[in-house]
Chain A
Amino acid sequence: DTGVSQNPRHKITKRGQNVTFRCDPISEHNRLYWYRQTLGQGPEFLTYFQNEAQLEKSRLLSDRFSAERPKGSFSTLEIQRTEQGDSAMYLCASSYASGGTRLINYGYTFGSGTRLTVV
């Protein structure tokens, strides 16, 4: 297992174009998260999945942002009609949350991110 993989590492796009990023989590992890990090700030939570179900999406920045996780494996984050303000690092993380009488999240593993530049 090589950790959380994100592709591409860098993306330059023209304003108004659509972009899609991919995240491959650690195979044993059942949870997958997307974050955005702008310069000089900590990451900002966007959305997360447990298996294939998207359990939280109200924090997506606008209706131009959408995420999918078909079959509960890799995930994609799409930004439609990009704007210059979308320029940021987009981080993916995965974790394992255990069920049973006590649900415990074992902490996140982050990918290296996709740096988006909108020109």
Chain B
Amino acid sequence: AQTVTQSQPEMSVQEAETVTLSCTYDTSESNYYLFWYKQPPSRQMILVIRQEAYKQQNATENRFSVNFQKAAKSFSLKISDSQLGDTAMYFCAFMKHGKSGGGADGLTFGKGTHLIIQP
């Protein structure tokens, strides 16, 4: 079974600062996906960024980037030039690449990090 650990229950930074959210995971799989999801208060879960384990290059999406260290089983999220709208719960998630093509066991989520962007 996979486990995902987010060691920072809450983080608070000033607007425009850069913030890094930590995530580590444990798995015996070699082929998998990693995701960061954002869940604003009372709003739906939104995909922020995804990384395929076979790709060595770190994924980037505008102000969001990841530092994927496969050997260390680490997958941190960096948010540059943080904005008030970035305030939300952030979940790190793991998905095994199943025989039938992804998602065979669904996503395994961490407990989340509550990110607060201060004006």
Decide yes or no whether A97 CB sits under 8 A from chain B.
yes
Which of A66-74, A78-86, A108-116 has 4 or more CB atoms under 8 Å from chain B?
Answer: A108-116
List of B residues within 8 angstroms of A109 by Cβ: 47
Query: Which A residues, 34 to 61, have Cβ-Cβ distances below 8 Å to chain B?
Result: 35, 40-46, 48, 50, 55-56, 59
Query: Which A residues, 62 to 119, have Cβ-Cβ distances below 8 Å to chain B?
Result: 91, 93, 95, 97-99, 103-105, 107-113
On whether the beta carbons of A104 and B100 are closer than 8 Å, the reply is no
On whether the beta carbons of B44 and A110 are closer than 8 Å, the reply is yes
Decide yes or no whether B55 CB sits under 8 A from chain A.
no
Decide yes or no whether A33 CB sits under 8 A from chain B.
yes
Decide yes or no whether A31 CB sits under 8 A from chain B.
yes
On whether the beta carbons of B107 and A108 are closer than 8 Å, the reply is yes
List of B residues within 8 angstroms of A44 by Cβ: 109
Given contacts A97-B101, A105-B33, A112-B44, is CB(A40)–CB(B111) below 8 Å?
yes
On whether the beta carbons of B108 and A41 are closer than 8 Å, the reply is no
How far, in whole Å, are A101 and B37 apart by their CA atoms in the complex? 28
| B-to-A contact residues, CB < 8 Å | 4, 33, 35, 37, 43-47, 50, 91, 93, 95, 97, 100-112
- For the complex of A and B, 3 pairs with smallest distance between CB atoms: A103-B101, A105-B102, A42-B109
Show 6 residue pairs from A and B whose CB-CB distance is below 8 angstroms, ordered by the A residue: A33-B106, A42-B110, A55-B100, A97-B101, A105-B103, A107-B50
